[in-house]
Structure 1
Amino acid sequence: MKKLSILGSTGSIGTQTLDIVAFHPERFRVEALAAGSNVELLAEQARKFRPRLVSVATKAHAEKLEGNIPEGITVMYGEEGLRAVAAENDASVVVSAMVGSAGCEPTLAAIEAGKAIALANKETLVAAGHIVTARARRRGVPLIPVDSEHSAIFQALNGSRIDDVLALTLTASGGSFRDRTRDELEGVTVADALKHPNWSMGAKVTIDSATMANKGLEVIEARWLFDVDYDRIRVLIHPESIIHSYVEFYDKSVIAQLGAPDMRVPIQYALTHPERPLSPAESLDLAELGKLTFRPMDFERYPMIRLAYEAGRTAGTATAVFNAANEVAVARFLAEEIPFLAIERIVETTLEKHDPVADPDLGAIREADAWARSEAKLCKF
C-alpha cells in the first residue's frame, strides 16, 4: 500500500487526488494533509481518510480544527506544519498541489526527505527549476508531473530518448475567452472569466487559463521537467482538450496522449506509474466526439505566453518575477480591483523594471519574488 501526503488537500487537485484514494482504497493510505483556511473541508477529509497529521495556515485555523476531527490526529499550522506534512512522516509520495510559489519550499523539503514528488505545483519549477531539478537528481527523487499536459508528454516519452525529440507541443484550451477578440475583453467580469469551458479548476488557475499565463508557466515547467530548450517547446490551441499534448521526434513520428478532460486521469497515473489500474474517469468516445480542431498560438492575442517565453529565455530570477507578478495581478482582478486586461500590463511592467539575477540561490529568488509582489501591488494601469 502506497502512503501519501498531500500539500493543498482542499484545492482542486487535492480533492481529486482524494477521489482517486477513495476509488482505490486497497492501494493508498493518506498519511498527512495540508490545507490553507478551508477548515470545514479539511475536517471532513480528516474524518474520512484518518491521516496521522493535518496542517492549516494559522494557529486560529488549527484551534478551530481541533475538536472537529477524530482523536489521535496531530494538528499543526504554518510553515512548521507544511514541513511536517511534506517531510516528517511515513509517506513515500508527496502530492505537491498548493497553488502559487508558497509550494516551493515544502516541495524542496519533501525532496530532501527522499519522497517521490507528484508535482502539480508548477510554480515550484517556474521559480526555482534549476535548484529543484538538481536536488531531485542528487537525492534520486522522481518528479512525476500531474498537470495533464506534462503527464501527456511524460507518457508519450515513455521508452524514448529526449535526444530523439524534435519538439514538445503543449495544447491549450484557449480558456474562458478563446472565442473573443481583444476588443471584446474590455469590461469582462470575474464571473465571466471563471466559466472555463472544459476543466474544473480553482479560481486562480482558471483565470490563468483565460490569460494564457497558465500555459506560459507550463512552458517554463516543461523546460525543467524534460530538460529541453525553449526553441523545442511549442503551444497549440486545441479547444476540445482531448489531445493533452504530444511529442514529435526527429524521424517525424508524433506520439500524443488523448483522453477526456478529467484531471483524475493524470493524477492517478502520477500515483500508480508505471501501472494503469481502472480509473473513475469516463472513457473517450472519438466517434461521438466527431472531430478535433486546432488553432495556432497567437502571441498578440495572448501576450502572457510571449512574456513567459521571454522570461524563460532570460532565466535567472525573471521567471520568479513573472510568476509573482502574475499571482498578485490575478488576486487584484479576483478582488475586482483591476480590469481583466490589466493583468498582463502589470506583469509586463514588472518584468520591464526587473534586473534579473543569473543562477540565483533560494535567497535571491525570495528577494525577487518579494520585490515583484510589491511592484505588482502598486502598479498602475
Structure 2
Amino acid sequence: MTGTDPRPHDPADGPRDVVVLGSTGSIGTQALDLARRHPDRFRVVGLTAGGSNQDLFDAQVAEFAPAVSGLGEQASVEAAAHPCDVVLNGITGAVGLRPTLAALEAGSTLALANKESLIIGGPVVTAAARPGQVVPVDSEHSALAQCLRAGDPAEVRRLVLTASGGPFRGRTRAELAAVTPAEALDHPTWAMGPVITVNSATLVNKGLEVIEAHLLFGLPFEAIEVVVHPTSVVHSMVEFHDGSTLVQASPPTMMIPIALGLTWPERLVDVAPAVDWTQAQTWEFHPLDEEAFPAVSLARAAGAAGGTAPAVYNAANEVCVEAFLDGSLPFLAIVETVGEVLGARPGGSASGDGVLSSPGIGDLLTVDDVLAADTWAREETRSLLSRREAR
C-alpha cells in the first residue's frame, strides 16, 4: 500500500492543507504542535475529536480556525472528505474506519495512526488506496517505510518489528496472574492512552502491528517477526536477502513519525533530538516469550485467516480491556477471551493449536461486513464476560 513515494510537495505551492482527526488525543495534539511550530509548512483546515475534552477542542478550533470542525464519527467522515493535502487519522478504535475510507476516496494522502481501520478493514481499505497514498504513523511502521526506501521490495527477506516488552517484560505467565490495572498502565517507555497502554502490556498492540505490517507492505506473515527491545531506540528493522539489516533509530518519540506522516517523503528539520553518540549506547534485543504473551501468535492466526477475523480480534480486545480497567476481568483473561471469541465467530473455529480455520463472513468484504463483525464480536465478548462473572 505504501508503494511509490508521492510527488514531493513544492514549498512554492504554499503550506500543506492538513485535516487532523482525533485532535485532542496524543497524536492529534502533537501534530498540532508541529503545525504551530511550522506555519510555513502546514495550514490546519479541519479538526475533529470524540468529545471527551470539549474545552481543549474549543481552544484548538479558536486557535486554528479550520474550515471544517466537529465532534463525533460523522464529523470525522465529513472532515476526511474535505479537500486537502493530508488527512491525519489519529482516532482510536474501529470508529476510524469510515473516515479512513473517506480520506482515500477524496484522494488525499492518509497519514494513518488509526491502525484499527486498516486492520479491521483489510482488503476494503487496501482496495481503496492508490500506491503511495497511505503513510504509516505508528513508529514501527514508519521505521519500516524509511528502511524500505534503501532497497527494492524484491530484495526484502523479512520485517522485524521491535517491542518494548511493556511493563511486564521478563515475567512468566504465572507471574502475570495478579497484574493490576495500575501496573499495566505504568509503561516504562511510552506515554499513551489507557487502551493502547494496556495493549502494550498484553502485546495485543504488537499483534495488531503484525497484521498492519502485512497489509501495508505485502509481506507474508512468516516474513514478519517481533523482537523485544526494551529501550525503544530502534523502532524496527528490515532484513534484505544479502544478509544486511537496516535499522531506524531515535530516542522514543512520536514526533518524528507524525512529522513524516505530514511531509512524506520529505523531512522537517530538528523535529526531535537524535541519539546522542557522545554517550555510551547499549541496545538489547530479546526473543519474544510467546507462552507468557500469546497475543502475537493469536493475531498471526487471525491475520492469516483473513475475512472478518482481524475485526473480531480487535473488537473483542477493546471490550476486554474495558473490563480489565474497571476491575472485572483478570489480566491474563484478556487474550484468553479474545481467543474464545475468535473461535466462536460466524463461519470460524479454532483448532487445538489455536489456528483459525475459515475466513468468516466472506472473502469479499464490504464495510457493512466489517462493522457487522465488529458489533457481533463486542456483543459476544460481553456475553462471555457476563457468563464468566456468573460462575
TM-score of the superposed pair, with normalisation by structure 2: 0.88
> Given the superposition, is the C-alpha separation of residues 379 and 279 from structure 1 closer, same or farther in structure 2, using an over 3 Å criterion?
farther
The answer to whether residue 46 in structure 2 is matched with residue 41 in structure 1 is no
Match of 2:167 in 1: 176
> Aligned AA for 2:184?
A
Q: Counterpart of 1:66?
A: none
**Counterpart position of 2:125:** 132
Does the Cα contact within 8 Å between 2:319 and 2:378 map onto a contact in 1? yes
Post-superposition shift, 1:49? 1.9
Q: Residues of 2 paired with 1:362 and 1:238: CA distance?
A: 36
The CA deviation string for residues 221-246 of structure 1, in whole angstroms up to 9 with x for no partner, is 00010011101100000001011001
TM-score by length of 1: 0.91
User: How far, CA to CA, are the matches of 1:182 and 1:363 in structure 2?
Assistant: 38
Alignment correspondent of 2:351: none
**What residue identity is the alignment partner of 1:316?**
G
**Using the alignment, how far apart are the partners of 2:367 and 2:300 within structure 1?**
22
User: Helix, strand or coil for the counterpart of 2:140?
Assistant: helix
Does residue 55 of structure 1 match 2:70? Answer: yes
Q: CA deviation at 1:112?
A: 0.5
- The farther-off stretch of 37-46 and 213-222 is 37-46
1:268 aligned counterpart, secondary structure = helix
1:312 aligns with 2:303: yes
The match for 1:347 among 332, 338, 349 is 338
After TM superposition, the runs of 4+ consecutive aligned structure 1 residues lying more than 4 A away are none
1:29 counterpart = 2:43: yes
Matches within 5 A, 1:39-118: 39-57=54-72, 78-79=73-74, 81-87=75-81, 89-118=82-111
1:7 matched residue in structure 2: 21
**2:213 is matched with which residue?**
222
Whole-Å Cα distance in 2 between the matches of residues 90 and 293 of structure 1?
45
287, 293, 315: which one aligns with 2:284: 293
Q: Which residue of 1 aligns with 2:352?
A: none
SS of the equivalent of 1:341 reads helix
1:139-288 pair list within 5 angstroms: 142-288=133-279
1: CA distance, partners of 2:34 / 2:171: 36
Deviation at 1:213, TM superposition (A): 0.4
Aligned residue in 2 for 1:358: 362
Name 2:4's counterpart in structure 1.
Answer: none
2:10 paired residue number = none
**What is the number of residues matched between the two proteins?**
357
Cα deviation digits, residues 26-62 of structure 1 (max 9, x gap)? 11011111101211111121122221222113xxxxx
Q: Which amino acid aligns with 1:221?
A: E
Contact 2:83 2:106 in 1 (8 A): no
The question of whether the paired residues in 2 share the 8 Å contact of 1:168 and 1:247 is answered with yes
Contact 2:155 2:240 in 1 (8 A): yes
Task: State the alpha-carbon separation in 2 of the partners of residues 286 and 341 from structure 1.
Answer: 40
Instruction: Return the letter of the residue paired with 2:102.
Output: A
8 Å CA contact 2:34, 2:259 repeated in 1: yes
In structure 2, distance between residues paired with 1:33 and 1:195: 30
Partner SS, residue 282 of structure 1: coil
The structural deviation recorded for 1:288 is: 2.5
Alpha-carbon distance in structure 1 between the residues aligned to 2:168 and 2:135: 31
Identity %: 46
Name the SS of the counterpart of 2:239 in structure 1.
Answer: strand
Q: Does the alignment pair 1:367 with 2:360?
A: no
Q: Secondary structure at the match of 1:288?
A: coil
After superposition, the C-alpha distances for 1:199-231 in whole angstroms (9 at most, x for unaligned) are 121111111000000000000000010011101
Q: In 2, are the aligned partners of 1:114 and 1:141 still within 8 Å (CA)?
A: no
Q: Offset at 1:283?
A: 2.0
Q: Which amino acid aligns with 1:85?
A: A
* Stretches of structure 2 lacking an aligned partner (at least 5 in a row): 1-14, 348-359
Q: Give the corresponding residue for 1:337.
A: 328
Structure 1 residue 289, shift from structure 2 partner: 4.9
